[in-house]
Chain A
Amino acid sequence: MHVENLTLAYGGDAPVVSGLTLEVPAGQLTAVVGPNGSGKSTLLRGMSRLLTPQSGQVLLDGKDIHKLPARELARKLGVLPQGPVTPEGITAAELVSRGRHPHRGLFGRLTAEDDAAIDEALAAVELTELRERPVDQLSGGQRQRVWIAMVLAQGTPHLLLDEPTTYLDLAHAVDVMNVVHAAAHGSGRTVVVVLHDLTLAAQYADHLVVMGEGRIAAEGRPVDVLTAELLEDVFGLQATVVDVGGAPVVVPDRRLVG
């Protein structure tokens, strides 16, 4: 996946992302981080056709995603938007089966291939036992994993996830990130994930993209990118970066009064 000179804006407003170029490493996990309003979620929308760019293009296997037929794109690129709304009463297996939409015709039941993809996706997020449970009765972390299973069942070689760990406590966030990591390294997908938590991003990402004010402020291996200077520059955060087993951990400096 390649992003070329992409400029994104909502309506007639000032661009949120301007002239951004990014080469997404194939078969790896890329995490996009940045302060609030830095344009990281907007970038993901632009990379997935949920937002039409003002200029520039996004190439998938060398082809502009805006020139591909909708169904063909949906077989190549899976997208999980931020905070998807779960319809009341839908079961986990039902929700995951919706991921097969781009592979199915107008009528007819799920094929054996569809069933296999659904089973595999539920197994990947470790929710096989809860497959007949209504999704709205699951915990926040389980619910998020069902949604990830939905995009996994879509069977696309490329995957974009927008803040899949938001509102989850650390244990559930780690569960979700394990699944996301496996989606790249277990089955060779190219995965791009927007994250809030710097330490979590640095723990899992092969490639870290730091955004600031609609541009890429830095990118590369987490150990190389995540430095105290960068945090000060981009986030306005005074912090110490500690190396724990080869992955950087961000420890904010306290400013205690009294």
Chain B
Amino acid sequence: MLSVAFAVLAIVIALVSLSVGTTKLPLADVIEVLLGGGRHGTRLVVLELRLPRVATGLLVGIAFAVSGALLQTLSRNPLASPDIVGVNSGASAGAVAVIVLAGSGGGNISGAAAKVGIPLAAVLGGLIATLIVGALSIQRGVVDAGRVVLIGVGIAAAANSLVAWLLVIGDVNDAGRAAAWLAGSLNARAWSDAIPVLFAVVLLLPVAMMFNRDLSALVLGDDVASSLGVRVARIRLALLIVATVLAAMATAGAGPIAFVALVAPQIAQRLTRMERPPLLTTAMLGALFVVLADLVARNGLQWLQVGPYELPVGIITAACGAPYLLHLIGRQQKGR
């Protein structure tokens, strides 16, 4: 029920987001365009300029949030989300490598390198980070929940220094573009950004849902789960890959938007009073979080009469998420 409520809210915010901007459009016009009507100029603004951005926002919100829910459940640690344990950083390193190394030097890479190269490199970077964190966190055949986070933070730092190095050696224009992207931005997203994320979500969310019941057994511990007939090692590996690809594709689409993967699953879990993050509710909450944060990022400074400036969406999610992270760490320490 909660997932439906979040989905409806996300759609409402998305519609509002489509109507506000430099050209203000009445909501009725936006809906008319979405239903296939409207004047040519309005159609251009809504369908070509604003919708790709809003769609990318909704999709990366889902992808990040589900990735976080999976990683938190698999590692039994609320801090283990792709933005903390290095998946996003690994993906960023991959993507920045493509932007900087394959860049034209003029600040825009185009063609195959941009469309296929960035998502591919991001997935590769993310998988490498996951592989290293996973391999180092296993002790006596069991994934140690505490080690996942410690090693993940280390791997994230390593990947981030790789990114910093790439920015230094790269062309100024490419590096500038990469830096803006690294903050997590939905600015000037095109359909070519949204579509890879759409594929990832449409293919992988059902896969994750298929393992929903196995996850319910897995939270009881590997021994109990396996005696309930769950093939623990196989499912763990499959879901780890699903979580990594989701986070990496989202990172490729909009940059490593911070804290969505950490916060959305935890809030969804609290609200549903479950013992693990519920996948569908988390997904919808993630979508809502990102479109709402983007609406604020895009228009906040104008509303405050500061001027016609946009913020990257990642700044807003970080501003909301960072205090929550501190709260979580405080709670964990109290629990021990």
Binding site for B on A (CB under 8 A): 10, 48-50, 70-75, 77-81, 84-85, 87-90, 94-95, 98-99, 101-102, 104, 106-107, 150, 154
CB distance from B122 to the nearest CB of A (A): 30
CA distance A84 to B219 in the complex (A): 11
A81 touches B210 (CB 8 A): no
Number of interface residues of B (CB under 8 A): 21
In the complex, what residue of chain B is closest to A77 when comparing beta carbons? B227
Top 3 nearest A-B pairs by Cβ distance? A74-B229, A79-B227, A87-B275
Residue of A48, A70, A84 ringed by the most chain B CB atoms within 10 A = A70
CA distance A106 to B230 in the complex (A): 12
In the complex, what residue of chain A is closest to B141 when comparing beta carbons? A11
B275 touches A99 (CB 8 A): no
B220 in the interface, Cβ–Cβ < 8 Å?
Answer: yes
B275 touches A81 (CB 8 A): no
Query: Looking at the complex, which one of A81, A84, A99, A101 makes contact with B213 (CB distance below 8 Å)?
Result: A101
In the complex, what residue of chain A is closest to B234 when comparing beta carbons? A70
CA distance A106 to B211 in the complex (A): 8
In the complex, what residue of chain A is closest to B78 when comparing beta carbons? A88
What chain A residues lie within 8 Å of B216 (beta carbons)?
Answer: 98, 101
Q: List 8 A-B contacts (CB under 8 A).
A: A50-B226, A70-B226, A70-B230, A71-B229, A73-B229, A75-B229, A94-B275, A102-B229
- Apart from A88-B275, A101-B213, A154-B228, 18 more pairs, CB < 8 Å: A49-B226, A49-B227, A50-B223, A70-B226, A74-B227, A79-B223, A79-B227, A81-B223, A81-B224, A84-B224, A85-B76, A89-B275, A98-B216, A98-B217, A101-B216, A101-B228, A101-B230, A106-B213
Query: Looking at the complex, which one of A10, A48, A88, A90 makes contact with B227 (CB distance below 8 Å)?
Result: A48
What chain B residues lie within 8 Å of A78 (beta carbons)?
Answer: 227
B231 in the interface, Cβ–Cβ < 8 Å?
Answer: yes
CA distance A78 to B227 in the complex (A): 7
B276 in the interface, Cβ–Cβ < 8 Å?
Answer: yes
Residue of A71, A80, A98 ringed by the most chain B CB atoms within 10 A = A98
What chain A residues lie within 8 Å of B276 (beta carbons)?
Answer: 87
CB distance from A96 to the nearest CB of B (A): 11
CB distance from A40 to the nearest CB of B (A): 16
CA distance A49 to B227 in the complex (A): 8
B336 in the interface, Cβ–Cβ < 8 Å?
Answer: no
B274 in the interface, Cβ–Cβ < 8 Å?
Answer: yes
What chain B residues lie within 8 Å of A94 (beta carbons)?
Answer: 275
B221 in the interface, Cβ–Cβ < 8 Å?
Answer: yes
B229 touches A87 (CB 8 A): no
CB distance from B101 to the nearest CB of A (A): 43
A88-B275, A106-B213 known; A70-B229 Cβ under 8 A: yes
What chain B residues lie within 8 Å of A80 (beta carbons)?
Answer: 224
Query: Looking at the complex, which one of A50, A73, A75, A101 makes contact with B217 (CB distance below 8 Å)?
Result: A101
CA distance A225 to B191 in the complex (A): 77
CB distance from A59 to the nearest CB of B (A): 18
CA distance A109 to B135 in the complex (A): 37
CA distance A89 to B227 in the complex (A): 22
CB distance from A91 to the nearest CB of B (A): 9
B40 in the interface, Cβ–Cβ < 8 Å?
Answer: no
B273 in the interface, Cβ–Cβ < 8 Å?
Answer: yes
B273 touches A89 (CB 8 A): yes
CB distance from A163 to the nearest CB of B (A): 13
CA distance A48 to B226 in the complex (A): 10
B76-101 Cβ-contact flags toward A at 8 Å (1 or 0): 10000000000000000000000000
CA distance A193 to B9 in the complex (A): 53
